[in-house]
Homo-oligomer: A and B are copies of this chain.
Amino acid sequence: MFSPSPPPSGLLERVFQFIDLHQNEFVQILKEWVAVESDSVQPVPHLRQELFRMMALAADKLRCLGASVDSVDTGFQQLPNGQTLPIPPIILAELGNDPKKPTVCFYGHLDVQPARQEDGWLTDPYTLTEVDGKLYGRGATDNKGPVLAWINAVSTFRALEEDLPVNIKFIIEGMEEAGSVALEELVRKEKDRFFSSVDYVVISDNLWINQGKPALTYGTRGNSYFRVEVKCRDQDFHSGTFGGILHEPMADLVALLGCCGPQWHKDSRGSARGCLSLTLQRVWGSLVDSSGHILIPGIYDQVAPLTEEERKMYKAIDLDLEEYRHSSHVKKFLFDTKEEILMHLWRYPSLSIHGIEGAFDEPGAKTVIPGRVIGKFSIRLVPHMNTSVVEKQVKQHLEHIFSKRNSSNQMTVSMTLGLQPWMANIKDNQYLAAKRAIKTVFGTEPDMTRDGSTIPIARIFQDIIQKSVMMLPLGAVDDGEHSQNEKINRWNYIEGSKLFAAFFLEMAKLHL
C-alpha cells in the first residue's frame, strides 16, 4: 500500500470525507447486489429471473439518484439446444446534459460467473463476507463493486447537494459473462441517439497488476481463432488394419501445428533483449518455435515498432517477476526480465495451440487412426495487426506447408473468430484526468498497463462511437475474478469510489 494521499481541499475534501463516513452503507449495498445470483452463464430460467431482478435493482438505484433510466429490451438469447431465454434489459441511463460539461459514459455489467460453495469457496459466494478487509463474494470485483463505486461517486455529489462536474451516462448490461449478447447491436443502434453526446467511455472491468498500486489500461490484444481440419474420411480407421498405407490426418495435422520444413524467417520482433534484430535465422517449423516466435511469414510486419517512450513506460511498471512466476506455478518463463515478459503479454502477438477435436482424447489406450481431425489455435493480435490480414497469412502459410506434404487428405482452414486489438491514445484528456485523480487518491503514478487478453467491448465502443475509451480498474491483482473466493478489498472499493469522484472533478478541470 502507499502513503496516504495529501489532504485534498474544498469540495474534494468533503467528497472524500463523505465517502469515508458512509463506507459501511456502500459496503451494505454491495452486499445486497452480491446476494442476487445473477449468473448469466448457466442458461436456466430461474437464474435468468435473478438477472432480471438484478437489472431492476440497478435501474431503481439509478432512478433514486435522479437519472433518467431506459431499460432496453433486447429480445431473446438463442441457445445451442434450440431453446430460447429472454435477455435481461440493458440499462441506458443519464444524469445531466449540460452542454458546457463533458459527457462520460460508464460501462459495466451486473451478471456474474457461476459459483457454488462446494467448488472451494470458504464462504457462501452470494453472501458478501468481510475477512481482514477483504469482501468475499461472487461479483464483488467482477463487476458489481466497480459499478457501485461509480454510483457511490455520483451519489456522493448528490448527497452533498453539489452539481455533478460532468454529465454522466451509464450503459449496464447483464450478459457480459455470456459474450455480451445483444450489446454491440444496441450500441450500433444508439450510436446517433444515446451515444451522440458521449465524449468519453470508461470501463472498469479489469484488474491492477499489483496488489496495492493502481493501474490505467490503454490496450487489449485482439484474437484470431483458427480451425484447421484435415480429413481423410468421416469414419475413423483401425490402426492395425490401415496403419502403414494411409496419409494419416493426425500426422498431417501435427505437422501443420508443429514443424515440418525448412523456412527462412526474419527476426523483426523487437525485444528488450535483441531490439529489432533483422538477422536471418533458419527455422524448421510451421506455427511457432520453441522460443515462442510465430513462424507464419509476415505476421510481425504490422506490429507497431517499440518506441523509447513506451520502453520507459514498461520500465516504470511495478512487477516482482519472481513473485509473479511463483504465484503462476510456472518453473520458468520464456523471458527473464519484467520488460520482456510484459511486452510479450501486451505488445507482441502470441500463438497458442488449444487442442484437437476428433482425435482420441480420453484416458487409456485406443488404437484408432482418426479419420478427420480439427486443430484449434489462436493468435493474440496487437496494434497494428489486422484480423483479415492475419487470416490471409495463416491460410496461405498452412496451404503452403500442406502442399509440401503431398497428402491426399483434404485440408480446410478457417478463422472462426476475429477480434481486433484495441489501443487508446494515452494523451487523451480522460487519461490525463485519471492519472491526476490516481495521484490525488493514491499518491502514486499508475502502472500504465495493457491486457493480454481480448476485451471486445473496448474496441466495439471505439469503433462504433469513435470516442476515447479508457479502462480504469479498481480491483487488485489477487481479486480472483472468475475463480473461487472472488473478493474486492474494502480499501479498493472505497478508495475506488473516491477515485471516480476525483476523476469527475479532474475531467471538469481539463474541460475548462
Contacts and interface: CB of A to CB of B under 8 A. Distances in A.
A257 B259 CA distance: 10
Contacts of A225: 365, 367
A242 interface: yes
A251 interface: yes
A257 B260 contact: no
B244 A348 contact: yes
Interface stretch (A42-50, A88-96, A110-118, A451-459): A451-459
A504 B352 CA distance: 64
A290 interface: yes
Contacts of A260: 258-259, 284-285
Interface residues of chain A: helix, strand, loop or mixed (majority): loop
B345 A223 contact: no
Interface in A356-406: 356-357, 359-363, 365-370, 376, 378, 380, 405-406
Contacts of A352: 239, 243, 248, 250, 367-369
Nearest to A357: B361
A221 interface: yes
Contact of A241 (B244, B366, B453): B453
Interface string A322-362: 00000011111111000001001100111111111101111
A58 B356 CA distance: 46
A246 B367 contact: no
Interface residues of A, number: 83
Interface stretch (A155-163, A230-238, A432-440, A495-503): A230-238
A416 B365 CA distance: 8
Contacts of A334: 244-247
A501 to B, nearest CB: 31
A239 B376 contact: no
A154 to B, nearest CB: 31
A376 B341 CA distance: 33
Most B-side CB within 10 Å, residue of A261, A330, A363, A378:
A330
Contact of A333 (B246, B261, B349, B360): B246
A355 B359 contact: yes
A252 interface: yes
A248 B366 CA distance: 25
Given A284-B262, A357-B363, A242 B417 contact: no
Interface in A285-340: 285-288, 290, 292, 328-335
A67 interface: no
A464 interface: no
Given A367-B223, A453-B241, A353 B284 contact: no
Contacts of A454: 240, 367
A122 interface: no
Question: Among the interface residues A221, A245, A329, A453, which one has the most CB atoms of the partner chain B within 10 A?
Answer: A245
A190 to B, nearest CB: 28
Nearest to A344: B244
A72 interface: no
Interface in A122-150: none
A57 interface: no
A409 B362 CA distance: 22
A448 B356 CA distance: 39
Interface centre among A252, A345, A352, A453 (most CB of B within 10 A): A352
A241 B452 contact: yes
- Between A254, A260, A359, A417, the greatest number of chain B beta carbons within 10 A of the residue's beta carbon is seen for A254
A407 interface: yes
A341 B245 contact: yes
21 contacts: A239-B354, A240-B380, A243-B345, A243-B350, A243-B380, A244-B292, A244-B344, A244-B452, A245-B333, A245-B341, A245-B344, A250-B355, A251-B258, A260-B285, A353-B359, A354-B365, A354-B367, A354-B368, A355-B370, A357-B361, A361-B361
Given A244-B345, A245-B350, 8 more contacts: A239-B352, A241-B452, A244-B292, A244-B348, A254-B254, A254-B257, A284-B284, A354-B370
7 smallest beta-carbon distances between A and B, as pairs: A240-B453, A258-B258, A355-B359, A355-B360, A244-B350, A254-B258, A332-B408
Interface of A: 221, 223, 225, 227, 232-235, 238-248, 250-252, 254-255, 257-262, 284-288, 290, 292, 328-335, 341, 344-345, 348-357, 359-363, 365-370, 376, 378, 380, 405-409, 416-417, 451-454
